[in-house]
A and B are shown apart, each in its own frame.
Chain A
Amino acid sequence: MSMADEITLTFDGREIRTRAGMSLAAALTEAGVRVFREGPDGAPRGLFCGMGVCQDCLVDVDGRPNRRACMTKAENGLEVRTQIAYPRLVAKAVEHDDPVIEAPDVLIVGGGAGGLSAAITAAEAGAQVLLLDERHIAGGQYYKQRGDAEPPLDRQQAEGHMLFERAQQSGARILDATEVWGAFEGPIFHAIRGDAAVIVRPKVVVVATGAFERPRFVPGWDLPGVMTTGAAQTLWRSYGTLPGRRVAIVGNGPLNFQVADELRAGGAEIVVVAEAATTPWTKAAAATAMMAASPRLTVAGLTTTLRLMRRGVPLHYGTVATAIDGERDGLRVTLRDDAGHISHFEADVVCMNYGFHPQNEILRLLGASFDYDPARAQLICRRSDNCETMVPGLFAVGDCCGLGGAPAAIEEGRIAGCVAVAWVLGREAGVAPAGLRRLARHRRFQKALWTLFAAEPQRFDDIALRAPVCRCEGVNRAEIEGPALEQGIEIGGVKRATRAGMGRCQGRYCAQVLAPKMAAALGRSIDERAFFAPRVPIKPVEIAAILAAEEAGLDVD
């Protein structure tokens, strides 16, 4: 690191030296900060999702409250403070930057594997393409590029780097750090980039918003130091920061193993990896199917697992977390295996990833149709073979439609990009048959992979009574269980009666267990309407940003 890269900021008056390219969350984590804000009950909260969804890493930055540390770039001289529960109403004069008003042929929302691929295909075919990515670091959650100028860590990051460079060269216009908060019929999109309003009226849209991680609703999952596995991975892969020294990882699926291995190589002590699925070594059929679909990924997964074993990392299969308690100098996670055996591990950080949940807010707002997959407990967007949703001109690719993995997202992005251009130019789409074959293979791999990692999703009835279901409003299962469930009311009624789902994350977590529960209580099948009604803002949006959008709109009209 050169001296030029060094920056200094303060946290509650304390000086923190860090590097350019860091997020505030990474800089604070590296400096040993675990508590970022106080919750409404005064309880401490810290970094959880690491990707702008959970809203628990809020800090006050230069007098502006409620800034997400994970989505905010660390800059020299910033005065960062713990976010208090009830900030004062002081208008910090915000000068709006000039609005960005665009009418591209193709709007792509999301700059991960699917979005970048769609952008490349569409732009190279001659369409005007605008891609909006909420992160200030390219590549999405799979490619997780580095925040600094260091070379890629490994093949995964190098692939992402190449994809991003190709997208930049394709002629597509890419706006980073741009968060879409509104999607309306038209379609018309509202986003905010720094203090500039971004208003986009595209001809066609490709939604490539990916997924966020499923937690396990256990007592203590809202404690500082508990974070998603993906959040820990971002700290390490994008910012070279370990989430802590001793790390326990609990969850379901291969990401947990990969991140265990990455953090271990980075110098962390992995005290346990607890996998909800039973041991893979007896599932020959699934393993064979995976091998047939992708020998490389299968071997990579196997190698990772064997390396963890060789290094003495305890791998517990058929095991889930049941509680996390704060200890004087860290956390204690309680595990239960499928024989009912209880064990405890102490760690500085508990990482959890129990699979993924599609970020389908834009698709729902614009009226796409969905099917419910009970095995994965999530909504699957209904699409044609061309990745077009049931709404004409609205395409969806990758994990926002239901988890399919990055290789599938790339192929879907190419298909959607190709068809979207044809749509705009009014010509026949020529989707490459080879791409369709590759997509089929990637889907076979995913299917086999999740057969290998098959585990029951946590249901509402499995949740401990004292565990928070809504972490924003601090509503535990017992509080929801009572009068709300007796009445057999729909999910909106539960929200109004208990406040579950009324907080800043907008019900993204609690809806995962409440929707199936309430549908069952009413004797209905689970569909799109079983979830909270889709509403803008897609993410909480500063009133100043809405004002900027309104003023920009007045200029246009």
Chain B
Amino acid sequence: MTSIERAVDVAVVGGGITGLAAALALSDQGARVALFDAARHAGSDANAGSLHVQLQSRLLRLFPEEAANVESSLPVYLAAVQAWKVLDRRLGGVELVQKGGLMLAEGPDQLAFLEKKAERELRLGLDVAILDRDELAHLAPWLGDHVIGAELCRDEGKLNPLVANRKLLMALKRAGVAYRRCTVERLEPDALGVRVVHGDGSCRAERVVLATSWGTRALGEALGTIIPVSWEPLHMNITEPADYVIEHLVQHAERPITLKQFQSGQIVIGGGWKARFDSAHGTPEVLEGSVLGNTALAAWLAPGIRNLRVIRTWAGLNTTADGKSIIGPLDAAPRVIVAVPGDAGYTLGPLVGKIVADLALEQAPAFDLAPFRPSRFV
């Protein structure tokens, strides 16, 4: 079915958290918005709802060359959590809890690493503290005795992404945003706007927001711009429900893990273990080593969860670039505005969505976007 070519002020491509938030912000400001969502492999659909702020040890370890980039983004993460809190109120609750995040240490070296990290983070305005064994046992009695201390970052938290995604979609519907489940094939910019060619036809827009995470590479290339984003298939596990006692987001100074408990009582275990994804047509597959390694690590750190059963695992596509968000118009096509949040994209999504909505409506954004320019890769 080919629809008649319609005109909107802004076409948002991508229905993950960034695109949804951008569409809502645009609609709030009176813009006519169309949102296009391929509805496949959106990282937001597989996200587990961590609100990250402190430097993730996983990223520092995997991509040491990006440490400076990640560190320079910390104030952005603080603002992102504020954006989530606004959205939480606006949407009538997405189970957002901000009790803080714990990064665990099992030995003096790890604790020393955290102390150094905390010093840097304090200077950048984060609310962090180092906890000793007793303080930690008081906050998190379900941890094993071998965890000797932790860094607590009070800015961190968690939310339920299923609820957030659903409520955002409902809010868009109420706002009258045209929502289309189809794949955008290419963008054809001209002097007056952009023609968005999609699976069901095409649509004209004055501007386009490209909230397409790893898919931005292909769409950007067609416009003559290299945006070196790639997918990173990651593994997650979830248990059956238990008494709600784990209030914090839990990570580790050296080992890849996130662990938290939803309001449903279910415990979600993740933290960057690998999954397999061969092509955009398949489904990300769960790997044996990740199921075993990730879950065993969680059981080692938090013995209290050992008698719960894992009821499901899944894999989703995280997007990585250089540790920083990619925000702003393309030099080659200034009416096309890229909106790819950096690592921990779900945390950053609402903030990045708001920023690009401002850009699309030619308003001054709240941040200096120079470090995030898409042209930095050229």
Contact = CB atoms under 8 A, between A and B. Distances in A.
A65 interface: yes
Contact of B303 (A91, A490, A497, A503): A91
Nearest to A540: B309
A182 B290 CA distance: 12
B288 A543 contact: no
A88 B242 contact: yes
Contact of A490 (B39, B242, B300, B313): B39
A280 interface: no
Contacts of A488: 181
B197 to A, nearest CB: 21
Contacts of B45: 492-493, 496
Contact of B314 (A64, A92, A529, A535): A535
Contact of A91 (B39, B162, B307): B307
A114 to B, nearest CB: 26
B241 A40 contact: yes
Contacts of B313: 535-537
A503 B291 contact: no
A120 B38 CA distance: 51
B244 A64 contact: no
A543 B242 CA distance: 13
Nearest to B142: A89
B310 A66 contact: no
Contact of A504 (B240, B242, B243): B240
Given A88-B243, A542-B307, A535 B312 contact: yes
Nearest to A40: B241
Contact of A547 (B245, B265, B295): B295
A315 B303 CA distance: 55
Contacts of B230: none
B62 interface: no
A184 B287 contact: yes
Interface string B155-173: 0000000100110011001
Interface residues of B, number: 45
A65 B308 contact: yes
Interface in A33-91: 40, 64-66, 85-91
Interface stretch (A165-173, A331-339, A411-419, A549-557): A549-557
B30 interface: no
Contacts of A541: 309-310
A149 interface: no
A188 interface: yes
A390 interface: no
A170 to B, nearest CB: 31
B239 A502 contact: no
B304 interface: yes
Contacts of A256: none
A503 B299 contact: no
B146 to A, nearest CB: 13
Contacts of B241: 40, 85-86
Contacts of B291: 182, 536-537, 546
A543 B292 contact: no
Interface in A3-43: 40
A535 B264 CA distance: 21
Contacts of B162: 496-497, 499
Interface residues of A, number: 48
Nearest to A545: B309
A98 B242 CA distance: 29
A537 B311 contact: yes
B112 interface: no
A126 interface: no
Interface of B is mostly: mixed
A549 B289 CA distance: 11
B92 to A, nearest CB: 15
A506 interface: yes
A86 B309 contact: no
B215 to A, nearest CB: 18
B242 A547 contact: no
Given A487-B181, A496-B162, A551-B296, A92 B244 contact: no
Contacts of B166: 483, 496-497
A89 B301 CA distance: 13
- Among B239, B241, B305, max chain A CB count under 10 A is at B241
B303 A86 contact: no
A265 interface: no
Nearest to B166: A497
A503 B241 CA distance: 10
B309 A89 contact: no
B90 interface: no
Nearest to A92: B307
Given A86-B241, A535-B286, A543-B299, A506 B309 contact: no
Contacts of A65: 242, 307-308
Contact of B312 (A86, A489, A506): A506
Contacts of B293: 550
A553 B293 CA distance: 10
Contacts of B307: 64-66, 87, 90-92, 94, 542-544
A350 B293 CA distance: 44
B306 interface: yes
Given A496-B165, A535-B313, A543-B310, A90 B304 contact: yes
Contacts of A546: 291-292, 295-296, 299, 310
Interface in B167-213: 169-170, 173, 179, 181
A493 B142 CA distance: 34
Contacts of A92: 306-307
23 contacts: A64-B307, A66-B240, A85-B265, A86-B242, A86-B244, A89-B308, A92-B306, A94-B306, A94-B307, A493-B39, A496-B165, A496-B166, A497-B166, A499-B162, A504-B311, A535-B314, A537-B310, A537-B311, A541-B309, A541-B310, A543-B305, A543-B307, A544-B307
Interface of B: 39, 45, 142, 162, 165-166, 169-170, 173, 179, 181, 239-246, 264-265, 283, 286-288, 291-293, 295-296, 298-300, 303-314
Given A89-B246, A92-B306, 18 more contacts: A40-B264, A65-B242, A87-B308, A190-B288, A483-B173, A496-B45, A503-B311, A529-B283, A535-B286, A537-B291, A540-B309, A543-B295, A544-B307, A546-B296, A547-B296, A547-B306, A550-B293, A550-B295
The 4 closest A-B pairs by CB, nearest first: A89-B304, A550-B296, A540-B309, A91-B303
Interface of A: 40, 64-66, 85-92, 94, 182, 184, 186, 188, 190, 483, 487-490, 492-493, 496-497, 499, 502-504, 506, 529, 533, 535-537, 540-544, 546-547, 549-551, 553
